[in-house]
Amino acid sequence: MSVQPVMPKCWRVESKPHKFCPGCGHGLVLKALGEAIDELGIQGRTAFGCDIGCSLLSWDFFNIDTVQAHHGRVTPVMTGIKRANPDLICIGYMGDGGGYAIGSQHLVNAAARNEKITLIVANNTVYAMTGGQMSPTSMPGQKTETSPYGRDPETTGMPVQGPEMIAAISREGAYVARGTMANLRQLKSYFKKALENQIEGKGFSFVEALSACPTNWRTNAPETWNYVEKEMTNYFTVGEISNPLQPKQ
């Protein structure tokens, strides 16, 4: 008798296995999010929005109301839905390109306005769907389709540190954290806190999830995990940056 994997209740079973490339981190990040939604019991009042890019392949991932936005526009779409129906729990999901490049103006201003939504950025340090070009979070020295000799910080600048930027401009009540697909229990806890922060109406919630793209990184399994667990975390520090749910000392 075959053993079926345990899936979060909010998953659409008919859409599995997922459409992401083998080894892609999106599936793991979304699994942690699905488990967080289930454990909080908010499936029936949650709206999920996904961006263009690889994140768009999550449009049928969950059995919840879902909308796909234009590239970089998932933040204002979820902001509008939340303002029209404040009782909904609104989640925006995007890649590092959608969040930190074309959509950066929306992300920054939503944080500054303290919009009561939850945004998630899956950071795999490349523009994955379009062929592996350099993205705002590509690492110094990282070889991509548009930086074949490695990213040069002297000419292209240093990678964007999204959560640190958001924490610096956010108002009181914002929850900001960075997790990783290499630690799903921790990542799920960050998702739950971000959603609880929205449920309690405290403020803007933002979580970055370090993710993998072995297709464009051209890495095997050990190389992929080494890059996520060691290389990326040397620059992108994992942890909570701002947590209004934690009692003040």
Average pLDDT over residues 146-156: 94
E strand segments, the chain: 46-50, 65-68, 89-95, 118-123, 126-127, 133-134, 175-180, 205-210, 239-242
- 18 has pLDDT over 90: no
Contact 95, 103 (CB under 8 A): no
For residues 181 and 194, give the distance between their C-alpha atoms in angstroms, rounded to a whole number. 17
- 84 has pLDDT over 80: yes
pLDDT at 65: 94
For residues 33 and 237, give the distance between their C-alpha atoms in angstroms, rounded to a whole number. 20
For residues 175 and 156, give the distance between their C-alpha atoms in angstroms, rounded to a whole number. 30
**Residue 125: exposure state from Cβ atoms within 10 A (0-12, 13-18, ≥19):** buried
Average pLDDT over residues 100-115: 96
- 133 has pLDDT over 80: yes
Q: What is the 3-state secondary structure (H, E, C) of 216-237?
A: HHCCCHHHHHHHHHHHHHHHCC
The tens digit of pLDDT for each residue in 168-227 reads: 999 889 999 999 999 999 999 999 999 999 999 999 999 999 999 999 999 999 999 999
- 118 has pLDDT over 90: yes
The values of phi and psi at residue 136, to 5°, are -60, -20
**Which residue in this structure is represented by tokens 């389709």?**
145
Average pLDDT over residues 228-239: 95
- Sorting pLDDT into bands at 50, 70 and 90, what band is 2? low
Angle (CA) 224-151-170 rounded to 5° is: 85
Q: Nearest Cα to 242, choosing from 210, 194, 184?
A: 194
What are the residue ranges spanned by the domains of the chain? 22-242
pLDDT at 104: 95
The tens digit of pLDDT for each residue in 35-83 reads: 999 999 999 999 999 999 999 999 999 999 999 999 999 999 999 999 9
Architecture of domain 22-242: 3-Layer(aba) Sandwich (3.40)
Contact 242, 163 (CB under 8 A): no
- Sorting pLDDT into bands at 50, 70 and 90, what band is 12? confident
pLDDT at 167: 95
Judged by average pLDDT, the poorest of 5-14, 109-118, 212-221, 236-245 is 5-14
